[in-house]
Structure 1
Amino acid sequence: MNEVPVAPTGPSRLRVLQSFGTPGATSNPYITRLFSSTPGVEQHAFSWRYALTGRFDVLHIHLVEVMFVRRGRIRTVVGVVLFLLLLLRTRVSRIGIVRTLHNVKPHEAQSRLVQWALSICDRRTDLWIRLNSNTVPPTGAPVVTIPHPDYREWFALHDVPASIPGRLLFFGLIRPYKDVDALVRAFTSVADDALSLHIVGDPQTAELREIIERAGHGDPRITLSFGYADDSTLATEIGESELITLPYREMHNSGAALLGLSLHRPVLVPDNSVTAALADEVGEPWVQRFSGAFDGTAIVQALASVRRQGSDGSPDLTARSWDASGSAHEAAYARAVELAAIRIRPRRAAAQAGGRLYS
């Protein structure tokens, strides 16, 4: 692994094609802010027409499989073919490919065709962006670490109410790996009428929704609010919570955890090297952790710890500003262009760079 330094660059006319479409009202703020935080870069939202015919210097890929996995095998095959054509175009045109490693691997099982396309993209990537220093990229291409920025400015105009003692909250897109049904079952096992649990988010499937409804059936302390939640609703729900519970089976990076911390609420997350590092960074009381299968004991212990240690003040998020992230992304894009030139014409590019080659 070849960690490369990140430093701000000067004025740039680099054209960057992001792997997601034009941000809208329901888009993750991370996507929207990435556009506005790189003023030295000409950002373009993704469309297949522009990807295959437009002019750009860098392709920035986030979740690769999202670009071409569709409902139905035939549609996915078509998506893979388009994606491979795009990779071919980047190679012929010396377009750099930057990949942000939001996760170590896809959360859902993928077909052999999709795995094959992912492996080709791995080998074709010129530069990796990881969100924490524990991430090991799939290849030895250069890597930069750019921490996931916070959401403090994004939610600054929203009212955040005082917390309600005993209120637990899960929010976000509900997918199987997040183990929300286990959270509901664990909560029902805790015999404490002073506790309440709010589930706010959109289940990925109708089946998952039914599983969660069955798990919480008959417990009046549980409130299920399925569907999209706007920023104002999230600010209210997060503000009223005493503890945000995120019982994921696997957690490597979590925008939900950072959003909770941005609004000064402690989070309960799986215990691993990444979440331990987050606790060291922002302060131990703010990042409660559980080991093994999630159960009622994890809830009771986390609440007791939060109340014992207190959560006065705010978590330390100084290392997660959008200004720093934007400058780091601009530098990463510029480096990817250099690496693409070296990859295509190593001898000529090496001469222009003073003989220095990057692995």
Structure 2
Amino acid sequence: MVARTTWTGPIPAIAHLHWPEKLAAALGPERALALMGELRQEGTRIVQTLHNLAPHEPRPDLARFRAAIDVMTDGVHFFSAEHERVAREHRPALPIPALHLPHPRYSTPEPAISIGCFGRLRPYKRTAEFAAAILAGDDELRLLVAGHPDDVEADRRLRAIAEGDTRLDYRPGFLPVAEFRHLLATVEWVALPYGQLHSSGVLVEALQADRRVLSVAPVGGTALYGTYDHDRWLTVPVWNEQAAIRAWRSTVSQSRIALPTWSDAAGTLVDFYSAVIATPPRRS
């Protein structure tokens, strides 16, 4: 008979085992099992998070401990439905109540997506229209427009937008090549929102600098400039601000890690734990 562990302090509603083998390795398997048994007798529910299916400490005594804990467990946290399916093949004693939730990402905000529009402002380039359309959304982005304003109306509109929206960095004027290349290196995307795209020095520089490009399909096709994946050079057959921006947003969302935020995860976890607590303890 293993001696009681003489738990002190409030009895927790939930004992969450992130890696059960770690507890057994720290206390010894028998004492760790006795501790969890005491808490369970006092009404504590046991929840596990499953990580790798292979044990971190592949010792026979820890394998027996893990199997015993599985029988005592009231709820289990998997990262996906596929993760659960594979895990249950190896751990059939795990309980039915389950949560699917990847690790939430840290609350540090992701850096703003940066887009650059370069070159002389001319009516067919639709730079002001693109700036107004993309900044109408609530994206976390930074838009840089740099080039000589041949189009007086575009210049007026861009100045007005920049005065009211700090996301737009408008730099009218001719750019020396070195400064242009420096600014090009500061953005992730180069947008060429032109009604028609013929030969373009900005396009060639952007591709050579390995920037991602959003544009209308160029006359003669993208193959004139080499071979590029869709996520590297995103084209639309006919330029339309709204259609191009929808395609761009879809591409950006797919390219970023799809993890929940801590605030989103917190609500899901509270709902799961509340359901586990409300359910009668599992019979061993």
TM-score scaled by length of structure 2: 0.45
* Higher alpha-carbon Rg: 2
TM-score scaled by length of structure 1: 0.37
* Higher RCO, 1 vs 2 (CA within 8 Å, ≥6 residues apart): 1
